[in-house]
Amino acid sequence: MTLVTSSHTRYRVGGMDCASCAAKIDTALRRLPGVEDVAVSVTSRLLAVTHAPEADLRALERRVVGLGYTIGPFEAEPLDGRSIDGDEAQDRSDHDRADATRDPTSGPSRLRDSMIGRWAGMPKARLTIASGLALAIAFATGSIAPSWSGWAFAVAMTVGLVPIARRAIAAALAGTPFSIETLMTVAAIGALVIGAGEEAATVVFLFLVGELLEGVAAGRARAGIESLTTLLPKTALVERDGGGTAEIAADRLSLGAILLVRPGDRIAADGEIIAGEGAVDEAPVTGESIPVHKRPGDGVFAGTVNTEGVLRVRVTATADDNTIARVVRQVEEAQESKAPTERFVDRFARRYTPGVVAVAAVVMLVPPLLVGAPWHEWIYKGLALLLIGCPCALVISTPAAIASALSSGARRGLLMKGGAVLERLGSVTVAALDKTGTLTTGKPVVTDIVSFGRPETQVLSLAASLEEGSSHPLAAAVLARAAADGVPIPPFAAARAIPGRGVAGRIGGEEIFFGSVGAVTERLSPTTDQHALVERLVAEGKTVSLLTAGDAIVGSIAMRDEPRPDARSGLAALRALGVTPMMLTGDDRRTAAAIADDLGLEVRAELLPADKLAIVRDLQARGEVVAKVGDGINDAPALAAADVGIAMGGGTDVALETADAAVLHGRVGDVARLIALSRRTMAVIRQNITIALGLKAVFLVTTVAGLTGLWPAILADTGATVLVTINALRLLR
């Protein structure tokens, strides 16, 4: 038995402006022999085809070009239906290098300017200009020689209509008979036949202008996410094993390579600082306006800028898997997933367009046949209805808003796996958040230093001396506090770690021990005050270690995994949106209660993964729409079961894969921003649908009443399309 496997081929398609373009390509390609599945993304211009190995890909490419679009390999930018090579590729490479050195804050505007510049030289723009010139010549001819005006306008109409009619025929043969090109062709030829040549030529020109505007607007929606890719430098300085550095292409960096990042350099890969410290400007990636001070052990993002000091960075992600690459890839994948509203609009549009054609036919035929109304007048009204009925504005109303929202979120580190997730987020009523690494930083910090007879600085100094060199999280907390306070760390002798108990050594002739309360109280009896202090600190959810010198307890250091800096404001933002936050954690009940009391929210503690899952199910059974927020493996079942699973930045791969959305920068406030973005997006979608259908309803009535004709009809359609696109683009800000 022979196992037949499918092949997968990806293309970059140019010229798509709205979802109806994608629908035409999808319908046409599915009818080809050997094609098993088709996925088209307008925003990323991606065409992914699953096909049998023997499928004729040349025929597939010809079909796309026949529909009026360009096609080329996914890795290249399509130009007039061909891929880039030779001098064009060199020009593009030089342009990329220039882009990499520009001011990152000018990225979107530069992209917009270059995008508009490219449009000026594209076939669609050239056709619009040619049609406009032909129309101007026709008007001039009509003024000079009125007897020739009919022919002049017929020629002007033909200049613009021939490419439109060719696309209409190709779409009809490929399975889309009721395309906008078909409606436009029928209306223009009909107007010419009844003697409205001037209007026919003008309507064709206005239609081409509308298409051009749609294309520019669609390109603007893409620019938001594409600008991220320009943040990455093309080269990086890599340390050689034998000494010195070498400059290599950033996309060839391997895991573990050591980068030398000088002040002013853009970091070429995600990594971890192993030497050096200084401020890193993360604004291009995270939006943070203030540079973040980085030390050895801290992570850095590709595309951020080292503003001071020399850093040595170990690469932790390849070019295909760094933060920016993951954001771009996930947004492109998300745009393939349609929201329920978008699917409904698509189904409605498929029935709506044939319905409009039927109504137009009734308007043309019934009044003249039944009551003897003038044929010319009612045919004219029917042709106007065909133009009014164009579904472009309606079809683009939802995907334009969703694409803008996904791109806007991605630029702020808010990732969503598709339009369905984006829509569902807006209905969340309960946010169930994990504690460690979600509401808290995930790293303990020193909260209290208490001395018993010695200065607090000496207590911290002695403890840090014993902990120096240890990688334990509690030791790291003590050393970080010592570094922050600038206390000296004296040398020690005969240091020894006692597993599960603490660490001991000789400092300045004294035997010093720093360890757990239990280990100390086994051989020493704390005073009443010392015992009361320890009880109070433990009741606050803190881990307490005691410091002894000889036979005396000389100090106490308490540590706790503290709430994130924005935890309180983030929870307040959720409440302001009408979302009830609660904590679900596997941590100790007393520790969890202390953090929850501090943040003012309900808590369920000492939970196993199955317990978290059961709580989510119970909340859903009570009618709540639950967002589960977490970062660990034990959160994965609840993340999958929740209405929306949200993974916090820095979480495990399991959490990130299971979740529906991700907050890359680990801010609690970003959970509220996700929900607010969803609600704004749904409001824009409702506005867009109202604009699209409302304008059509108004002009339907005025056309039948004889108040408006072909010009206002096409202006209404083009205007509605541009309005809904501009309204959707507001989400990019």
Active centre residues (catalytic):
434
Question: Which strands, in side-by-side order, build the sheet including 430-433?
Answer: 414-416, 661-663, 644-648, 626-630, 430-433, 580-584, 602-604
Q: What is the DSSP string of 475-516?
A: HHHHHHHHHHHT------EEEEEETTTEEEEEETTEEEEEEE
Beta bridge partners of 50: 8, 37
Helix (H, G, I), strand (E, B) or coil at 215: helix
What are the backbone dihedrals phi and psi of residue 662, each rounded to the nearest 5 degrees, phi first? -140, 140
The four Cα atoms 494, 500, 502, 504 give a dihedral, to 10 degrees, of -20
Question: Which strands, in side-by-side order, build the sheet including 440-451?
Answer: 440-451, 552-563, 543-549, 510-516, 502-507, 493-498
Q: Degrees (nearest 5) of the Cα angle 224, 227, 232?
A: 150
The Cα–Cα gap between 386 and 467 comes to 80
Burial 396-412 (b: 16+ CB within 10 A, else e): bbbbbbbbbbbbbbbbb
The Cα–Cα gap between 726 and 730 comes to 7
Query: Locate tokens 């002049």: which residue?
Result: 152
How long a stretch of residues is the chain?
A: 733
Question: Which strands, in side-by-side order, build the sheet including 311-315?
Answer: 245-249, 235-239, 258-261, 311-315, 271-275, 299-300
What are the backbone dihedrals phi and psi of residue 526, each rounded to the nearest 5 degrees, phi first? -65, 155
DSSP state, residue 646 = E
- 278: region left, alpha or beta (phi > 0 left; psi from -120 to 50 alpha): left
The Cα–Cα gap between 443 and 666 comes to 13
Residue 237: Cβ within 10 Å count? 16
Query: Locate tokens 């979802």: which residue?
Result: 19
The answer to whether the beta carbons of residues 84 and 118 sit under 8 Å apart is: no
